Amino acid sequence: MTRIAAVHGVLPAHRYGQRELAGAVAALRPDGDGHARALAERFAAGAGVEFRHLALPLERFAELDGFGRTNDAWLAAAAELAERAAAGALREAELPPEQVDFVVSTTVTGVAAPSLEARLAPRLGLREDVRRLPLFGLGCAGGAAGVAAVDDLLAGRPGGTALLLATELCSLTLQRADTSTANLLATALFGDGAGALVAVGDAVDCAGPEVVATRSRLYPGTERLLGWEVGDSGFRILLGAELPELVRLFVGEEVSSFLAAHDLKPNDVTAWVCHPGGPRVLDVLQDELGLPAAALAPSRASLARCGNLSSASVLHILRDVLAAGPPPPGSYGLMLALGPGFASELILLRW
């Protein structure tokens, strides 16, 4: 089985309180809509977020007047963050970069060709024959889906090493003229950050948690509930108000079914690594799975500290779980993330 050797998370240097951000974003809106501002402030207060880190200082956002310029800013900042995350993970795993056989990278907040990991390979010292798998469009599910992809790759090379990168600069998707409820809520919730994970195949000695099983699930008829509409100004968010109810209808049952396939129940899971989609989503998951408040405390703490980091969040939360002291040997963990599709990604871990 694949084992996780190290996880490292990084955040940009520009840190702001939630109230300051709400006021600054409102000032950027061209219409001065008082109702939109009041609604944005209400969402900001209820998002469960206290601080967020941005790729650029606040004063720079007024300069971003089109998708091209914004994407250029994304590429420069994303490369710097991803390099820091990858170097940190390799350092913690005590593995040289030339030992990496596979690199998987996921993002949904910018576009690059050559892709981000290709640009970083020489800077990180990766081999010229490293196998690359760039992923786009998985959104918040990308971190967990990336772990599943790494597991699949290493199944065919048990002596191999893989690097996963999740890099999201959600602030650079800001749509200043969009006063829709979805955009105002997203503006209150999402932050910037990157995470990296190093994993090794079954033949490599490693004390980290093993990947026992993975599951991906698409829920038909939900395609328009979460994702992007791409236009001249960049990425405009689709974020359906029905999402918490969909989590209630489908995801709780999906988690229980996945665990039951391994003779487990939710209360057999020691470590919950749940993507912090927002307070309501976490509340529904906790209620549907009958979890104690402590189970999702790492997710709520991550949301408060830096916001929803899209695909990078589950890597930050897994890092926090490991830093708090690994669970006892034989304990199970579950990584869970939701993304466009509407889809869920589940990863069963064992220490």
What is the pTM (predicted TM-score) of this model?
0.95
Q: How many H helices and E strands in the chain?
A: 11, 13
Residues annotated as catalytic (active site), given as ranges:
140
| Distances, alpha carbon 152 to alpha carbons 30, 102, 147, 169, 260, in Å | 47, 11, 9, 27, 22
- pLDDT of the residue at 36: 67
* Residue 103 β-bridge partners: 132, 163
Average pLDDT score over residue span 307-335: 96
**CA-based torsion, 282, 283, 287, 290: positive or negative:** positive
Q: Establish whether the linkage from the previous residue to 114 is cis, with ω within 30° of 0.
A: yes
Distance, CA of 201 to CA of 208 (rounded, Å):
12
Is the distance from CB of 195 to CB of 315 less than 8 angstroms? yes
Give the pLDDT band (50/70/90) at residue 133.
Answer: very high
Whether residue 343 is predicted with pLDDT greater than 70 in this model: the reply is: yes
Average pLDDT score over residue span 292-312: 97
* Averaged pLDDT of the chain: 93
- pLDDT of the residue at 31: 63
Is the distance from CB of 195 to CB of 78 less than 8 angstroms? no
Element (DSSP H or E) covering residue 153: helix 142-155
Count other C-beta atoms under 10 Å from residue 223's C-beta: 14
- pLDDT of the residue at 326: 82
Q: Are strands 102-107 and 131-136 parallel, antiparallel or unpaired?
A: parallel
172-213 pLDDT per residue, tens: 998 887 878 888 888 899 999 999 999 999 999 999 999 999
Distance, CA of 25 to CA of 21 (rounded, Å):
6
10-48 pLDDT per residue, tens: 999 999 999 888 888 777 776 655 676 787 788 888 899
49-81 pLDDT per residue, tens: 999 999 999 999 888 888 999 999 999 999 999
**CA-based torsion, 165, 69, 226, 132: positive or negative:** negative
- pLDDT of the residue at 240: 84
